[in-house]
Structure 1
Amino acid sequence: MSETSKPGNFITQIIDKDSENGKHGGKVLTRFPPEPNGYLHIGHAKSICLNFGIAQRYQGQCNLRFDDTNPEKESVEYIESIKRDVTWLGFEWKEEPKFASDYFDALFEFACELIKKGKAYVCELNADEMREYRGTLKEPGKDSPYRDRTAEENLALFEAMRDGQFPDGEKVLRAKIDMASPNINLRDPIIYRIRHVHHHQTGDKWCVYPMYDFTHGLSDAIEGVTHSICTLEFQDHRPLYDWILETLETFHPQQIEFARLNLNYTVTSKRKLKQLVDDGHVEGWDDPRMPTISGMRRRGYTAQSIRNFCERIGVTKSDSVVDVGMLEHAVREDLDANANRAMVVLNPIKVTLTNYPEGKEEIFTVSNHPKNEDAGTREVPFSKHLFVDQADFAEVPPRKWKRMTPGSAVRLRGGYVITCDEAIKDENGNVVELLCRYDENTLGVNPEGYKPKGVIHWVSAEHALDAEVNLYDRLFNHESPDAKHEDKTFLDFINPEALTVASNAKLEPSLLNAEPGVGYQFEREGYFCRDLNAERLVFNRTVTLRDSWAKIEAKGK
């Protein structure tokens, strides 16, 4: 489905009306403006799909712009990771990525213009005094004692700030608006602060840096952004966005807010995600347990499934929490249609076919995908000694058991029907080997009299690949780990079973050539992909086969 044919939302309705009225000459220019202070997460994916998707829908343009106004917390690593994530999701920017720091000279001049207009002043209140003077949601603030300095004095002080004559925190530049405003964002907000710190783009040129609220709107204006699409937390900041642009009498983009993506069983605060990384709770920003785009990519989520998910949840102005099962369903749906099948035994137990000739081998040709003939076939070797999964055998089977048990027959996927005759145990009573018989007349057929109870997967022991398989689950075991909990933090809800490792897994030999990151369905086990980082043979579970959301959707139809 092309972008133009996809259903609209309240934002596209606004743009449609603007186009009908000839606003901006029908031009549509959006932007995706991440701060390079961490890796992008699933919430950013929604914003990426929205901003770049709208540009595609209207044959417009979306700028990738880094809001790099806080160099102490930013790095080139984060910048490069953001570029990779946007590209991987399937979007591209027409020009070179932009940086707020590209506009530092212009922003400084805009600040000087505010001072000359009597709309900004240098303030020397410390942080505690600033909070005291600011007031509360119920009480107005108080004017700073430095509020009535002359424009000349403020301009001289601001230039001295730029020239490095004051230490960090000694002075700030504040917009002069209204300390009694019911909107606390308009109570003379700070628009510049002193930071003697090296910047990853501008080096040591600057020791004063603009604040986000000052930078964002003016960067939009400089670039000619027509529709500045933000999440709802910026709604109360819009009056400041408008005040700055109107006071400076510059181009005025329209800010539109939408509800951010909130997922249960998930934390998306970059500060908390960084804490998970820094404190060693995960192995890095791209740990497959993380809700980062890079983590989901390494786990095996596809770009298409994430785009489908973002489209499915829609764009609204009401905050809500989306069930993470809906995201997992989108991943399963895409992988079910596109992932080739393979046989892998995660917890192997040996099977010996007592009546199969020693040294004999056969090659079975099996389809790569049961619903897609274009996926082709692969060859699977068969021999006297096999591995099957421990979970597929029971000496005393429960009701409705359809797998292996002494005296009953099962079919090997793509192969023969076999019957278990005996279970060999070790000194501790654990089953270590199954002695079975195969019927050479059952390859691909069920002769009369045979009623195998089920079909199980297997791997030839002589040809099996040894591999490590990471069985990933949700990182948190509480549906609202980020909410306020008495005497607990989000770290207390880390799921201890978020990662278990099948270190003795046996794989069919075709998986030796598996391309890292490409999804497979391991028959009857789930969806997996070869790890992007490991040099040895390591596979990560992307998602299990069970799909509760598919059942929920079916009930709703």
Structure 2
Amino acid sequence: MELFCLDDLELEIRKIVLDNAIKYDGKPDVKSVMGALLGSNAELRSRAGEIKGIVERSVSAVAKMSLSDQISELKRIAPELLVEQVRVEVSEEKELPELPNVDKWSKVVMRLAPFPSGPLHVGNARMVILNDYYVKKYSGELILVFDDTIGSSEKIVEPDAFDLIPASLDYLGVEYHKTVYKSDRLDIFYKYAVDLIKRGDAYVCDCDAEVWRTMHKVKGIPCACQGLAVQENLARWEMMLDGTYPERAAAVRLKTGMTNPDPAMRDHVILRISETEHPRVGSRYRVWPLLEYSWGIDDHELGVSHIIRGKDLVKEGKIEQFIWNLYDWPQPELMYYGRLKFQDATLSKSKSSKEVRDGTYNGWHDPRTWSLQSLEKRGIHPDALRKVMLDLGLSIVDISISMKSIYAENRKIRDADAPRAFFVEDPEWVTIHRNTLDYAKVPVHPDFPKRGFRKIPLHTIDGTVEVGLQKSDLKSLKKGGLFRLKDFANFTIGKTKPISLNLESYDVEDVRAVGGPIIHWIPKEGSIPVEITLINGSIVQGLAEPSLTELAKDTFLQFERVGFVKINEKGDTIQVSFAHK
């Protein structure tokens, strides 16, 4: 059960009131605030009468502020609550702001810090592309740092990620200058841990975690461990290292202050015990640093000048700054951007990792993972991702976009060079009579007549040809009505069964004159079996025109009326991945 002291409660109420006010043009509502507060903190419901008075006072005070002042205060005390739902309009060119205080540093040094739980996914592309953009802009240095410290039981280091992540960066065209593994740097983190203990800036705490949270963190009261002598803390540190303390029995806390107005910042844990086997260093270490502590040290050790990352790491940034201040180190510039949500893609690396491990997903190239490997397999050009991510910029507000933004940009890049082909899912075969052509002439690309035509052989015997039509198309045709098989000829349906088609003419203007439908088709002889992997992982089977055999693996093309696809494998059956419409 979460407990609130009065200061903490008033701060929480203030955040909710400001958030409510900003959503409703600067006018907060007591009822809405009470609903939000009690809905997320059930233990406060018994105090609703008392709390309502605090809420009313806060609402009254916030209502007197200008909207801009409300936004400024919320940005300062709870930037994670600022949300903006936007539809991204991809512009021709967008210049990002300059990096601050570049002149303070001999060169711009930035870092990518992925946790190796799998490959990078489409949401990670924003962090990667922004860092790459600025390093190239300032001719700086980009470091790939695998943040491979032991995380929670749900967050597992995946050995394959050490290869998958560099492959993702290569796909995006990201140039990094060296690679660092956190798991190679434990001795450095240990050295600073001992130094912090000796300085009196850190201590080993063996309080029960739940007791410490409810009795000390929430109330702002130091535990007995904080006052222990340096030698006792050093002895406890050795007990953490040698196995005397079991997992979760002790942790190193940084003296960030028990009176900090933000309870999450009070005497923060910076190292803890974990006996989980590590894929690179095995069981050599049992004490592991938390992300913010390791970065507080490494950003200095690696000479990092500027840090760009999501605002979900604002608290971690404050811990890093605390460490830099303790040692009077130059402070890198911290720059944050808001969360990015895709309306039509579920991004969960932990879920995808589980589904890949148990075989539900067909590896990390499965489109349902939304990994960069899966986008590459579908034929999404890296420049499409780069364009959209740079257009999002460095706004601190949360943004919600559709994958259609990326698809639209991909279409701009790919369409002109994408060959066309006919594809029919599960075709129904019909016979054509009275044909005199040996082949149909189909434009290589409808927008570029000068590229000429491709020929679809008809294998006509005594005026008879067999072709495959989509069942839904065939069902929609009216008896006696004129329709056209695209780029071939005009037909009516015969009166006999099985269904046959009577060839009426070849001129497309004839069908246009009566407003008849134009439908896709494939010849029975020579057509190629195809399997299309859709975005939801399902497989569509059908046949494509014979010209598909002339296209190389990795060709990006358009199945007319189906959408854009990429050829993944060639064989008796051609395997393609669906990209988008």
Q: Aligned partners of 2:450 and 2:300: how far apart in 1?
A: 50
Offset of residue 32 of structure 1: 1.2
Letter of the structure 2 residue corresponding to residue 126 of structure 1: D
Match of 2:111 among 31, 48, 57: 31
Offset of residue 515 of structure 1: 4.2
Match of 1:177 among 228, 251, 256: 256
Say if 1:67 and 1:377 are closer, same or farther in 2 by CA, change over 3 A: farther
Conserved 8 A contact 1:385-1:460: yes
Q: Which runs of 5+ in 1 are unaligned?
A: 398-403, 426-432, 473-497, 545-557
Pair 1:459 & 2:522 matched: yes
Say if 1:285 and 1:127 are closer, same or farther in 2 by CA, change over 3 A: farther
Q: Give 1:407's aligned residue.
A: 480
Match of 2:561 among 524, 528, 537: 524
Q: Which runs of 5+ in 2 are unaligned?
A: 1-91, 460-464
Q: Give 1:537's aligned residue.
A: 574
Offset of residue 345 of structure 1: 0.9
Offset of residue 281 of structure 1: 5.7
Pair 1:266 & 2:329 matched: no
Conserved 8 A contact 2:216-2:223: no
Q: Secondary structure at the match of 2:160?
A: helix
Q: Secondary structure at the match of 1:511?
A: helix
Render the CA deviation track for 1:373-404: whole Å, top value 9, x for unaligned: 7977544222311112223234xx5xxxxxx4
Render the CA deviation track for 1:75-112: whole Å, top value 9, x for unaligned: 221221111111112212122x2212232221111111
Pair 1:434 & 2:500 matched: yes
Q: Secondary structure at the match of 2:492?
A: strand
Conserved 8 A contact 2:511-2:517: no
Conserved 8 A contact 2:433-2:500: no
Q: Secondary structure at the match of 1:411?
A: strand
Q: Give 1:90's aligned residue.
A: 173
Q: Give 1:8's aligned residue.
A: 95
Q: Secondary structure at the match of 2:491?
A: strand
Q: Give 1:429's aligned residue.
A: none
Q: Give 2:53's aligned residue.
A: none
Say if 1:534 and 1:293 are closer, same or farther in 2 by CA, change over 3 A: farther
Q: Aligned partners of 1:236 and 1:533: how far apart in 2?
A: 50
Q: Aligned partners of 1:353 and 1:405: how far apart in 2?
A: 17
Structure 1 vs Structure 2: percent identity of aligned residues? 26
Render the CA deviation track for 1:248-279: whole Å, top value 9, x for unaligned: 33343122111121112333233344455567
Letter of the structure 2 residue corresponding to residue 175 of structure 1: L
Render the CA deviation track for 1:262-308: whole Å, top value 9, x for unaligned: 11233323334445556766444432133222233333323222222
Letter of the structure 1 residue corresponding to residue 522 of structure 2: V
State the superposition RMSD in angstroms: 2.9
Letter of the structure 2 residue corresponding to residue 109 of structure 1: K
Match of 2:146 among 52, 66, 83: 66
Q: Secondary structure at the match of 1:321?
A: strand
More helix per residue: 2
Q: Give 1:44's aligned residue.
A: 124
Q: Give 1:108's aligned residue.
A: 190
Offset of residue 173 of structure 1: 0.9
Conserved 8 A contact 1:181-1:187: yes
Q: Aligned partners of 2:511 and 2:363: how far apart in 1?
A: 57
Q: Aligned partners of 1:542 and 1:453: how far apart in 2?
A: 30
Match of 1:335 among 411, 414, 419: 414
Q: Aligned partners of 2:287 and 2:571: how far apart in 1?
A: 43
Q: Give 1:385's aligned residue.
A: 466
Aligned residues: 482
Offset of residue 500 of structure 1: 4.7
Say if 1:366 and 1:249 are closer, same or farther in 2 by CA, change over 3 A: same
Say if 1:374 and 1:63 are closer, same or farther in 2 by CA, change over 3 A: farther
Pair 1:193 & 2:272 matched: yes
Q: Give 1:162's aligned residue.
A: 241
Conserved 8 A contact 1:460-1:508: yes
